Amino acid sequence: MQMWPNTRKMGTVFVALKGQDSMQLRNLAYASFAAVTLLVCAQPAAAHHSTAFYTNDFVELEGELVRIDWYNPHVRFELRTLGPDGAEKLWQMEASAISALQRRGVTRDLFQVGDRVKIAAHPSSRRASELQLTNVLLPDGRQASLWLDSPPRFGNQVIGGSKSVVDAARENRGFFRVWSVPRPIPAKTTATFTPAAIAARESFDLFDNFATRCGPQGMPAVMFGPLPFELVDRGATILLRGEIYDTERTIHMGRSEPPADEPTSILGYSVGKWEDGALVVTTTRIDWPYFDNAGTPQSERVEIVERFALGADQTRLDFHITINDPVTLTAPAVVEGHWRALGATLAPFDCRAPR
């Protein structure tokens, strides 16, 4: 049995323990396919998800913000500093996703090009001018936390803080709202793989793949990231939207199986039913080559059953997901966890190549 690792950084392609070589990162990624969906693998060209390649060290710098790119999956800043000799240096810095920052009260209007700021960040182990931004001391003396697990570094006056749950019982929206993934991510995974699946991972390029090229991504791994999800009631269907990759899945209610001529797709075909108050979704017809973001293969025989159960006060949605693929797995894989009602909204994913 393999459990979700409790590391300080969980990556979108790797479970990211910093300073590890590619083989160690690959092995860590295998340990939990559910943990690898949010921070999509590091890209050689300083891309959007290079969290695996930052050290545990901190640097503190003072300088001027000269560029702000407020888009998912990682907000980016450019900082200009002056060295002791007067030489200018530009630093490329990435922070959390928009939804993660909003949960802490950190919004775009806090930052202006031309602001003089002090920052704390983890330096890259690969490029001297790249940083993972954790804290910004703003001109007015307030401090913004730019990574969800970063404690204050410039005193204790921190903007915002994690949002509490909404009064979901009063709103009485049931399943149909935007659901947030708590931090740390409360999930566990059990999965064992066939020898052939394990061997096939070696041909996967950790630095050039669908994730480093901004997706899209297929089932099941697209469901296991820390960005928000939304369930929308459309009567005969339920729309399940995910912020990551702007994913949209249609759940066909009242059907027991796909139409006979239904083509395969990366998200498959989902049928749903209500069972003892829970939403049960079965997805087949999946044509997506990877079981996870680490290169474990997946066959078109894969079948996924998701069970979503609403808490009594409507603030929590528990999920239990079973994945069966006899080509990849020696036994069905199980992922269990929950989402919370935090009043979030979905932001456009807007993934783009590095400038």
pLDDT digits (tens, 9 = 90+) for 13-39: 222 223 333 433 444 344 333 333 323
Domain limits, the chain: 54-145, 168-340
Residues 232-249 pLDDT 10s:
999 999 999 999 999 999
Query: b or e along 117-148 (b: 16 or more beta carbons within 10 Å of the residue's beta carbon)?
Result: bbbbbbbbbeeeebbbbbbbbbeeeebbbbbb
pLDDT on residue 340 = 94
Give residue for tokens 């293969």: 297
Residue 262: its pLDDT value, please? Answer: 96
Length of the chain in residues, anyone?
Answer: 355
Higher pLDDT, 257 or 213: 257
State the DSSP code for 328.
T
191-211: per-residue pLDDT in tens? 999 999 999 999 999 878 888
- Rg (Cα) of the chain, in Å, rounded? 21
pTM above 0.85, yes or no: no
Written as one letter, the residue type at 172 is N
Stretch among 43-47, 75-79, 117-121 having the lowest mean pLDDT: 43-47
Answer yes or no: CATH 2.40.128.20 is held by domain 168-340.
yes
Q: How many C-beta atoms surround the C-beta of residue 297 within 10 A?
A: 21
Rounded to whole angstroms, the Cα distance separating 273 from 240 reads: 14
Per-residue model confidence as pLDDT tens digits over 300-314: 999 999 999 999 999
The three-point CA angle 30-25-35 to 5° equals 50
Q: Which fold has domain 54-145?
A: OB fold (Dihydrolipoamide Acetyltransferase, E2P) (2.40.50)
Using DSSP's 3-state secondary structure scheme, residue 317 falls into strand
Nearest 5°: CA angle at 95, between 126 and 69? 100
Write the DSSP symbol of residue 94.
E
Q: Which of 71, 66, 17 is nearest to 48 (CA)?
A: 71
130-134, 147-151, 197-201, 226-230: segment of lowest average pLDDT: 147-151
